[in-house]
Amino acid sequence: MQFAQATQYNFNPAKSCPTCDPKKDTVTVPDISFFVGMQQIDSLVETLLGNEKIEGICKMLLKDKCAELAKVLEREIGTVMSVFKTGPFVTVTVDQLLFSGYVSPLVTKLADRVINISNKLIGTNFTLVDPAPFTVALNPENGTTDTLYTVDSGKLDYSRAGYMLSFNNMTNASLPSQGNKLPSQWWPGAETPSCNGNALMLEGTNGDFFKSFIEKTERLPIYIDDICRTAELQFEEEVTVKGIQGYRFVLPADQFDYSLTENCGFCNPNTLSKYGAYDRPVNSTCLPSGLLDISGCQN
């Protein structure tokens, strides 16, 4: 059995906020592209100062002033950040944040400034930054669909009705599963010698429905495409919704506890923490427990 999903979000003033305008109302949020851009700029500066050929050209053109290049770049970065009010937070319209997208001044102003300085002072030929990859929008694919899911019909085993078997893409905008496993590019840490392959497991339904006669003691597997992984739900309490009694299942904390061996695959060896984070040491491949690095599967 196969199916695809598409979700369409529309602003309804009558049910939301009659006086609001998504294209005019603004919010201040952490600027995702700031952190990505700073990493790119840091890499560019290290490339400039660590390249023997560029260093030779620099000494030939600037002579004793070449040693000042790092200070010049550092000063310019600080100046431009101040002038253009570039920082870890950005103020954008609600529409830009959710749908149309925005590009941080860090990319459009600061990065280009660093490149221009390098090109003029020491004759490099770096091209200006393409802002497209740095466009931030929480829901740029509103109303679209790319993934076609194949699920178990439950004909042979009712308890597995709706369980994910595989998924494929229809527009090449995403990666297909590798049979009954998630794409290895999403969780490369799962295939390292010291780890199991649990992170690549494709199991459970997509959460739209579950089998009948669920017991409180059961752990319900569920594939959550927003975070690109399978997780297990655990019973929390009995509830009554509009007169109908039911069980509430939630994600337990152990699903994001990276001290547990079964979660080792969610530590990404391709995104080492250069400075460490919270309780994690320098060059740790794991985020602090409770967080999840989805940079390998989500833009």
**What pLDDT was estimated at residue 180?**
92
Separation between Cα atoms, residue 138 and residue 126, nearest integer Å: 30
Separation between Cα atoms, residue 35 and residue 24, nearest integer Å: 26
Q: How far is CA 148 from the centre of its chain?
A: 22
Tokens of 27: 């919010």
Average pLDDT, the chain: 79
Full-prediction pTM beyond 0.95?
A: no
Q: What digits encode the pLDDT tens for the residues 141-184? A: 666 677 889 999 999 998 999 999 999 987 776 789 999 999 99
**What pLDDT was estimated at residue 150?**
93
**What pLDDT was estimated at residue 47?**
59
Per-residue pLDDT band for 42 (boundaries 50, 70, 90) equals low
Mean pLDDT value of segment 116-127: 72
Per-residue pLDDT band for 39 (boundaries 50, 70, 90) equals low
Mean pLDDT value of segment 27-44: 70
Nearest alpha carbon to residue 185 among 289, 292, 268, 291? 268
Mean pLDDT value of segment 197-214: 90
Residue ranges of the domains in the chain?
A: 21-92+104-125, 147-266
**What pLDDT was estimated at residue 11?**
84
The label of the residue with tokens 């149309």 reads 100
End-to-end CA distance of the chain: 29
Mean pLDDT value of segment 124-139: 72
Mean pLDDT value of segment 224-241: 94
Task: Say which residues have a Cβ less than 8 Å from residue 98's Cβ, sequence separation at least 6.
Answer: 9, 22, 137, 138, 139
Does residue 102 carry a pLDDT above 70?
yes
Instruction: Give the whole-number percent of the chain exceeding pLDDT 70.
Output: 68
Does residue 51 carry a pLDDT above 60?
no
Tokens of 6: 């598409």
DSSP H or E run through 76: helix 69-83
Does residue 260 carry a pLDDT above 60?
yes
Q: Give the DSSP letter string of 214-271.
A: --TT-EEEEEETTTTEEEEEEEEEEEEETTEEEEEEE--GGGG-TTSGGGGGGS-TTS
Mean pLDDT value of segment 195-211: 90
Contact (Cβ atoms closer than 8 angstroms) between residue 203 and residue 163: yes
Higher-pLDDT residue of 38 and 209 is 209
Per-residue pLDDT band for 269 (boundaries 50, 70, 90) equals confident
- DSSP-based three-state secondary structure for 128: coil
Mean pLDDT value of segment 124-133: 72
Nearest alpha carbon to residue 151 among 226, 248, 221? 221
Burial of 226 per CB tally in 10 Å (0-12, 13-18, 19+): exposed
CB atoms within 10 A of CB 55: 15
**What pLDDT was estimated at residue 248?**
95
Nearest alpha carbon to residue 148 among 165, 126, 161, 135? 165
Higher-pLDDT residue of 49 and 104 is 104
Q: What digits encode the pLDDT tens for the residues 58-70? A: 555 555 555 555 5
